[in-house]
Structure 1
Amino acid sequence: MDHMIFEVGTALLLIALFSLAAGKLKLSIIPFLIVLGMLVGPHAPELGLIDLTFVESREVISFLGRVGVLFLLFYVGLEFSVSKLVRSGRKIVFGGSVYVILNFVLGLGFGFAAGFPLYEALIIAGMMSVSSTAIVAKVLVDLRRTGNSETELILGMVLFDDLFLAVFLSIMSGLLLGGATSVGGVLLSVGISVGYMLLFFIIGRKANPILNKLLNITSNEIFIIVVFAVLFFVAGFSEKLHVAEAIGALLLGLALSETEHSKRIEHLVVPFRDFFGAIFFFSFGLSIDPTTLGDAAWYAVGAVVITLIANIVAGMVAGRNAGLSHKASMNIGLTVVARGEFSIIVANLGAAAALAPMLQPFSAMYVLILAIAGPLLAKESKRIYGVLNRIFGWSKAKEPVKQTGTD
């Protein structure tokens, strides 16, 4: 324990260096930090005073990573708004439903075809159904597509996907962590999870005046202490009910998203989200033995191919239903194809339930490939559209809406 601070400091320094490298290359830091975690750990060599095995600090780094998950999901909850989704209208609900259902069904079929049992197949389907909000947002900004005609639909579909994630994790937490074996016990565990989620929705919709009054704290110091204290308590209490702690954080964010203090909370949370979130991705990589990746490679490649097909099809269906051009519809599918933080969180739920060990290396490979390929595919969407257009002859069809912004 004598070298605990030094080991943690070394890990943070490595995280900072790899994050700087990702920034220089204008890529998401997620794959960089996962690879970093995989390169070090128990199998890494000791270099004099610098111990890259992180044996003594392993539990501390893992705990800090769990804190990162709480902040990531709490922030997503703050960004999400049920009323915003309702106002977005039929086109976003239709597009989001097509996206989630197509990815989930194909993911579930892939899980069964690969020989995984039911729960493992469900986890794989969940991983393959959730896009990375962080990467999608970064792609839209970096490629200057915020003014494009399809961007509102993209953001709406991502928002809908976040809602699916909340429901999926709540139900799977009840199934996997509830400890029930009989049909009645399973239904009870799922019922508790869903009821717990609905409780927070009700609080968020009906208790706004009370929440606004309780959070009317002038001092930022006291304000952040109160918010974080409630966050950690709710996350811990959720775990007591066999609901994943991350879902407790997400639900609290949902409850606070409609308050007049939501923007203030977001502003204060962002630095913690980024810092502890980076540790989470590193700690996830730290849990992966690189020698096991070979066994998962073909599974991951197969899942990536299915995801690409499902996303392009869903994007085309959603875009055309919304009256967008074929080019704009292609942009939708290629923009939301990136996978990242949420797929890893789903995989971690499977790890917490002691499901097949293969899920960890599979999820690492799957996320690595799409976290890198996703932004690149979005950047080259014009060329990809050109190739597919020559095959399907889309340009001959009438394009109802003129695309704005850049390609």
Structure 2
Amino acid sequence: MDHMIFEVGTALILVAIASLLASKLKFSIIPFLIVLGMLVGPHAPTIGILDFTFIESQEIIEFMGRIGVLFLLFYLGLEFSVPKLIKSGRNIVFGGTIYVILNFSLGLAYGFFLQYPIYETLIIAGMLSVSSTAIVAKVLVDLKRTGNSETELILGMILFDDIFLAVFLSVMSGLLLGGATSVGGMVLSVAISIGYMLLFFVIARKGTKILNKILNIASNEIFIIVVFSALFFVAGFSETLHVAEAIGALLFGLALSETDHSKRIEKLVVPFRDFFGAVFFFSFGLGIDPLSLGNAIWPALGAVILTILGNVISGMIAGRKAGLSHKASTNIGLTIMARGEFTIIVANLGIAAGLMPILKPFSAMYVLILAILGPLFAKESKYIYKGFDKIFKWSKPQEKVKNQA
């Protein structure tokens, strides 16, 4: 136990050093932490008393990472207004549908182009269709875009994407693993997931007075115990209904966003969000062996190019349909581009079913590249938009002069 605690402490020191380096370079800490995780882990050396393999502490580091995802999504949920989300329902459904269909179709076409079998092709199409809620949440928070006009649509599209993921995993699990293959069973599973999400929207709209009374606690100590206990319970219960625990945390945050205590909760949760969120990205990198990536480089690069294309186009279509500016629409595609935990989940389903071995290094390389490019593109979206504007002439001449001034 003592050695395990020392291992965790060593890991946290490495995370702190990587975070300081990223801060000095004024860059997102996400790619730094993922690459750091790749450089250590099971394949790393042991130097004296410093064990960089983190084998003994792997489970606790992964658990801390899962907590980080919960806090990231919980905080993101607190930042949004449920009435505005419901008002934007049609735009969310339209944008989410365009996003999923375009990316899934590109994935199917790419799988057939690579001459992969049908199941491998479906898995690749699924991988290309699901963005990383954790990385997207971190990017929105880091870039202080939670109040932007396009962010509510981004949040809605993430929720829609999760519904697609639930459907996809239900269907593919039945096909690959021989589970519940009946159409009725799959429809029931999806209906429960959607109903569970709608329940939190109803609670946010109708249960605000009750929540205000429950949370009317003077002591910060007791207040945070009550809120965090409820957060972990809701996240855990969500998984029993086949709704991702991270989405359960997001929905719980949405439910509390309309209460009088939302700002107080935000203030208290920020340190936990930042600390455990950093551990998540480090733990994600720990699961990637850089020596296994060689054969998957070129297929992964092709998938990355298609994903960039699909995200920019679908983000532009969704944003413009919702009445947003070209700049805000560009931000949508660039922000939801990152791939991460859900893509790995889809790939692991194929791996568990004994499909082609290349799926593991392919998914690792694909996720790593987009986990780096996604936050970078979002950070530099202003300059990317200007480049598009020069090509497509979106801005009027007087607007350009005003922006330059």
Question: Is TM > 0.5 for Structure 1 vs Structure 2?
Answer: yes
Q: 1:61 Cα deviation (Å)?
A: 0.8
SS at match of 1:73: helix
Matching residue's letter, 2:158 = D
374, 379, 399: which one aligns with 2:396: 399
Q: Distance in 1 between matches of 2:281 and 2:29?
A: 9
Matching residue's letter, 2:335 = V
> Relative to structure 1, is the Cα distance of residues 269 and 182 closer, same or farther in structure 2, using a 3 angstrom cutoff?
same
**1:158 alignment counterpart:** 154
Q: Distance in 2 between matches of 1:384 and 1:212?
A: 43
How many residues align? The count is 393
**2:55 alignment counterpart:** 55
SS at match of 1:132: helix
SS at match of 2:2: coil
Q: Distance in 1 between matches of 2:187 and 2:323?
A: 41
114, 120, 124: which one aligns with 2:127: 124
- Say what the alpha-carbon RMSD is for the aligned residues: 3.7
> Relative to structure 1, is the Cα distance of residues 216 and 398 closer, same or farther in structure 2, using a 3 angstrom cutoff?
closer
Task: Answer yes or no: is the 8 Å Cα contact 1:323–1:400 preserved in 2.
Answer: no
Matching residue's letter, 1:210 = I
> Relative to structure 1, is the Cα distance of residues 364 and 155 closer, same or farther in structure 2, using a 3 angstrom cutoff?
same
133, 138, 142: which one aligns with 1:134: 138
Q: TM-score, normalised by structure 2?
A: 0.81
Task: Answer yes or no: is the 8 Å Cα contact 2:41–2:52 preserved in 1.
Answer: yes
> Relative to structure 1, is the Cα distance of residues 139 and 258 closer, same or farther in structure 2, using a 3 angstrom cutoff?
closer
Q: 1:298 Cα deviation (Å)?
A: 2.5
Matching residue's letter, 1:221 = E
Q: Distance in 1 between matches of 2:195 and 2:223?
A: 29
What per-residue deviation string (whole Å, max 9, x for no partner) do you get for residues 240-297 of structure 1?
3333322322222222222222222122111111111111111111111222222332
Matching residue's letter, 1:127 = V
**1:347 alignment counterpart:** 344
SS at match of 1:162: helix
Report sequence identity in percent.
Answer: 59
> Relative to structure 1, is the Cα distance of residues 259 and 177 closer, same or farther in structure 2, using a 3 angstrom cutoff?
farther
**1:251 alignment counterpart:** 251
What per-residue deviation string (whole Å, max 9, x for no partner) do you get for residues 97-142 of structure 1?
644543344345445655354762464143258672432554577x
What per-residue deviation string (whole Å, max 9, x for no partner) do you get for residues 25-47 of structure 1?
22211111111111111111110
What per-residue deviation string (whole Å, max 9, x for no partner) do you get for residues 62-116 of structure 1?
1111111221222222223331234569778766664454334434544565535
Q: 1:190 Cα deviation (Å)?
A: 1.9
Q: Distance in 1 between matches of 2:386 and 2:196?
A: 48
Q: Which runs of 5+ in 2 are unaligned?
A: none
Task: Answer yes or no: is the 8 Å Cα contact 2:312–2:334 preserved in 1.
Answer: no
Task: Answer yes or no: is the 8 Å Cα contact 2:80–2:257 preserved in 1.
Answer: yes
Q: 1:204 Cα deviation (Å)?
A: 1.8
**2:164 alignment counterpart:** 168
**1:41 alignment counterpart:** 41
Q: How does 1:196-235 map to 2 (within 5 A)?
A: 196-235=196-235
**2:310 alignment counterpart:** 310
Q: Distance in 1 between matches of 2:170 and 2:257?
A: 25
Q: 1:311 Cα deviation (Å)?
A: 3.1
Q: Distance in 2 between matches of 1:330 and 1:155?
A: 10
**1:332 alignment counterpart:** 331
SS at match of 1:402: helix
> Relative to structure 1, is the Cα distance of residues 77 and 123 closer, same or farther in structure 2, using a 3 angstrom cutoff?
farther
> Relative to structure 1, is the Cα distance of residues 56 and 376 closer, same or farther in structure 2, using a 3 angstrom cutoff?
closer
What per-residue deviation string (whole Å, max 9, x for no partner) do you get for residues 147-197 of structure 1?
xxxx52x32432332332443355456557895232222222222222222
**2:31 alignment counterpart:** 31
Q: Distance in 2 between matches of 1:198 and 1:322?
A: 22
Matching residue's letter, 2:136 = S
Q: Distance in 2 between matches of 1:385 and 1:239?
A: 39
